[in-house]
Amino acid sequence: MLRIALSTLLPVISACSGALPTAPARLLSSTSAQRAGAELFTANCAICHGLRGDGHGWRQEAIAPPPANLTVPPWSERAYAARTFLAIRQGVAGSAMAAWPNLSDEQTWQLVAYIETLPPGR
Ligand code: HEC
């Protein structure tokens, strides 16, 4: 009986832990990916998050909750890259942070790579 229950549960558990995406090898440290991410960020994200990613975009006053400061942990941390990826892909329900399903996996990782390079803001 116990064995049946476990074999039913295990695939569910591994499916959950497998849900975090993995960055293509070396992409996050690639300067060309970071540069591409900077361009995507300026075009799509800076209006809310600010050109420096510190949350002080032109629209920050009008937004509640305010845009996240991406220059501080956890978003600036390599260990958090998969969650940063998912935040961009899926957005944050109940906030102005939309999902970005039209950005390819590569473009989304480029954004993550860029966010990791942001110098700490306030
Ligand atoms: C219309 C304004 C707006 C735009 C444009 C925008 N964001 Fe956001 N973003 C927000 C807000 C507001 C939050 C804070 C959500 C919260 O605190 O729950 C946020 C949060 C985040 C977070 C943290 C997620 C979390 O769980 O708090 C990340 C990462 C992020 N944004 C990345 C981006 C990237 C990359 C782009 C461009 C592709 C982008 N955002 C574009 C408003 C925006």
Please name the residue that has the structure tokens 């941390």: 77
Average pLDDT over residues 16-23: 76
pLDDT tens sequence across 29-79: 999 999 999 999 999 999 999 999 999 988 777 889 999 999 999 999 999
- At residue 62, the pLDDT reads 84
Using the predicted structure, report yes or no on whether residue 107 has a pLDDT greater than 50.
yes
Q: What is the 3-state secondary structure (H, E, C) of 12-66?
A: HHHHHHCCCCCCCCCHHHCHHHHHHHHHHHHHHCHHHHCCCCCCCCCCHHHCCCC
Query: Of the residues 42, 45, 97, 111, which should be mutated to test ligand 1's pocket, given the most ligand atoms within 8 Å of the CB?
Result: 97
Residues whose beta carbon lies within 6 Å of some atom of ligand 1 = 44-45, 47-49, 59, 63, 65, 67-68, 70, 75, 84, 87-88, 92, 95-97, 100, 111
Residues 6+ apart with CB under 8 A from 48: 57, 59, 60, 63, 67, 96, 97
Confidence at residue 19, expressed as pLDDT on a 0 to 100 scale: 79
DSSP code, position 102: T
pLDDT for residue 14: 40
CATH class of this structure's domain 30-117: mainly alpha
How far apart, in whole angstroms, are the C-alpha atoms of residue 81 and residue 116?
A: 8
